[in-house]
Amino acid sequence: MKITKLGHAAVLVDVNDARILIDPGSFSSDEAFGLTGLDAVIVTHRHHDHVAPERLEDLLALNTDAVLLAGASTAAGLGPLAKANFRLLPPDQSMRIGDVDVTSVGGLHAVIHEDFPREENIGVVLSPADGPRFFHPGDSYEYTPENIQVLAVPISSPWGKLSEAVEFVRSVSPATMFPIHDALFSEHGKKLFWSWIPQLAGSEISSISPSEGNPVEYNSSGEFVRSGSLDNPAA
């Protein structure tokens, strides 16, 4: 499995013959919207930092065979994009993309403020036939699926704090973790915050901080193997 960070919450997962992009939003890199060869685009929820509809349209035009996966509330805000090649991803459901099981987790966004209603949020677990299980939680620390080898950890948000991030990591107990949802931090703040989580989460969990746009390869146990350069097939 290769995972590439593409800005804020956007990650590209290449595993076996499947290529899956999660949460290409307004804080994502331009590289995320120029990808080709995608089999699926998954949107965890409708906040603009996780989905940019005006750019998503162009991305899907580059990937006409890609299926778009999202929950009902998110789909309602995507208009025509949620019609062709769209599949509803309700909470606690599974479907196949190639030989990868895509399982939805949870259902609600973390509490931002008591005056804000909680919106839909669908975390996703990707389980290839012969690779590690990867969990992208969207915007929530509430749901902690079992047997996760690689975990994406949101670290900068109006809804979370350090203690919650640490307890989330401890509960999931992955082999390896890396930070996402970090666009609100300066580079100094990002390094400082991410240094605390590994210290507190436990030495048995490996942590890495991948460079944006550089794929990181994991073995079937979720252990870091190597990093490389992004391969984008001809459209």
Query: Considering the domain boundaries, does residue 132 fall inside one?
Result: yes
Q: Which domain holds residue 121?
A: 2-226
Residue 91 confidence (pLDDT): 92
Q: 232 in a domain, yes or no?
A: no
What are the structure tokens assigned to 12, written together?
């590209």
Q: What is the DSSP letter of 24?
A: -
Residue 234 lies in a domain: no
Phi then psi dihedrals of residue 192, to 5 deg: -65, -50
194 found inside a domain: yes
Overall number of domains in the chain: 1
Task: Give one DSSP letter per residue of 82-118, joined into a string.
Answer: GTTTEEE--TT-EEEETTEEEEEE--BPPPS-TTSPP
- CB-side exposure of 216: number of CA atoms within 13 Å? 24
Please tell me the predicted confidence (pLDDT) of residue 228: 79
CA distance 4 to 228: 10
Q: Which backbone phi and psi does 66 adopt, to 5 degrees?
A: -75, 140
**Rounded-to-integer distance, Cα 152 and Cα 129, Å:** 20
Residue 77, domain CATH: 3.60.15.10
* The pLDDT of residue 109: 86
Q: Going edge to edge, which strands form the sheet with 94-97?
A: 94-97, 100-105, 123-128, 134-136, 150-154, 176-180, 206-207
Contact 179, 209 (CB under 8 A): yes
For residue 106, being part of any structural domain is answered with yes
Per-residue pLDDT of the chain (235 residues; tens, 9 = 90+): 999 999 999 999 999 999 999 999 999 999 999 999 999 999 999 999 999 999 999 999 999 999 999 999 999 989 888 887 999 999 999 999 999 999 999 998 888 899 988 999 999 999 998 889 999 999 999 999 999 999 999 999 989 999 999 999 999 999 999 999 999 899 999 999 999 999 999 989 999 999 999 999 999 999 998 887 787 876 6
Cα dist. 63→14, 52, 222, 223, 233 in Å? 15, 16, 29, 31, 11
Q: Is residue 233 part of a domain?
A: no
Q: Is 159 inside a domain boundary?
A: yes
Prediction pTM value: 0.95
Residue 114 lies in a domain: yes
